[in-house]
Amino acid sequence: MTATQDEQRKESDMKNLALQKRELELNQRKQDFPALQQLIHGKPLVYLDSAASSQKPQVVLDALARYYSESHANVHRGVHTLSERATLAYEKTREHVRQFINAAQVQEIIFVSGATEAINVVARSYGDQFFQQEDEILLSMMEHHSNIVPWQQLCERTGARLRVIPLTAQGEIDQSAYPQLLTSRTKLLAITHASNVLGTINPIKEMTALAHAKNIPVLVDGAQAFGHLLLDVRDLDCDFYVLSSHKAYGPTGVGVLYGKKALLDKMPPYKGGGGMIETVSFDKTTYASLPYKFEAGTPNIADVVGFQATLEYLHEVGIGNIYEHEQNVLAYALEKLSVIPGLDLLGNAAHRLGVISFELENIHPHDLGTILDQEGIAIRVGHHCAMPLMEHLGVPATARASIGLYNTRADIDALVEGIHRAKRFFK
């Protein structure tokens, strides 16, 4: 062996050791999540439903308890100590979000109840103002209902219409068809960053660039991508980006609407009430500046504060490490599931997250889900709020296993064994 080959071997060994160390560290992260330490029907819980809602680490639960125990008061305008504490923590989360997604300024970060509300804000506030009859909204075939229904409602109000980008046989957006659908009538592209059924990661940056070349704004539904992919909204150059806390190890009831300030400034408030005003008289009301004009009423303070602990946890673990770990578990899962007789995997995108939808011959997904639950294994079954995609795929429902940072190869082994038990039971 030459000196160069010896050096290359040593370098390869060091990389493998580093990978093994990171894998071990991520495997141990399951201990951070109290819910994952319990037994379900006498079996250790195997949680493979993070795409619907993820479990929460202890640091997030502690942050929620600490807020309610020590700092609860309404935010903004209060001069007493508790209100000042709550306001500081609430606004600190906004800055954490800004940094996490690399927004230009905190005024571009709007707190909402989740990605669904964020899309509704844009549909109502932006859409009602700027859309008219015969305008077109471009979606893809893989969208979640939350990124379909608000636009349908907008069409009913304005006379605009939806157009749909088709998919390839691999479950990817047809990039040859997409540019042809960008016309002078297109007034918005609303696209998911990653499919909640197929796991497909869409080329958002490239698709946005094509849309912007025709002055078409872009909204990205990041509900499935946040917590799994490194996000940089300025690099993506999207005009709006929406996300939910609860799918990325944070509290429920909290989400974010990111919007470019120039667009948000033009949009009227979505809801009226306290907190979003500058002055009120019976003759006229003037509205607060960004971001507050979109945050009417008492916000979900505790869960926003808990969301800050989530972001700190994700930063500590490292999004790059999470992505690498989940890709390793995904590759193992696809290898093990693909050889099960009668199991049909849906989608085969080149770039995908750890979301695996499948059918099992002669076993209804709901029956499979019930049997797996008896083994302590939690998966999602049904149409996954993507009925148009289900119709396109020719299936009424699927079983779906989704991977989080706390999942391991042992969880996949348990899933595979559970599927074999279900096959034996129905045989």
Extract the tokens encoding 54: 């993820």
171 CA to centre of own chain: 19
Polymer length of the chain: 427
| Residue 101: exposure state from Cβ atoms within 10 A (0-12, 13-18, ≥19) | buried
- The active-site residue, picked from 346, 385, 414, 415, is 385
- Active site annotation includes 155: no
In the 3-class helix/strand/coil scheme, how is the chain assigned residue by residue?
Answer: CCHHHHHHHHHHHHHHHHHHHHHHHHHHHHHHCHHHHCEECCEECEECECCCCCCCCHHHHHHHHHHHHHHCCCCCCCCCHHHHHHHHHHHHHHHHHHHHHCCCCHHHEEEECCHHHHHHHHHHHHHHHHCCCCCEEEEECCCCHHHCHHHHHHHHHHCCEEEEECECCCCCECCCCHHHHCCCCEEEEEEECECCCCCEECCHHHHHHHHHCCCCCEEEECCCCECCECCCHHHHCCCEEEEECHHHCCCCCCEEEEECHHHHHHCCCCCCCCCCEEEECCCCEEECCCCHHHCCCCCCHHHHHHHHHHHHHHHHHCHHHHHHHHHHHHHHHHHHHCCCCCEEEECCCCCECCEEEEEECCECHHHHHHHHHHCCEECEEECCCCHHHHHHHCCCCEEEEECCCCCCHHHHHHHHHHHHHHHHHHC
* CB neighbours of residue 68 within 10 Å: 12
Residues tagged active-site = 385
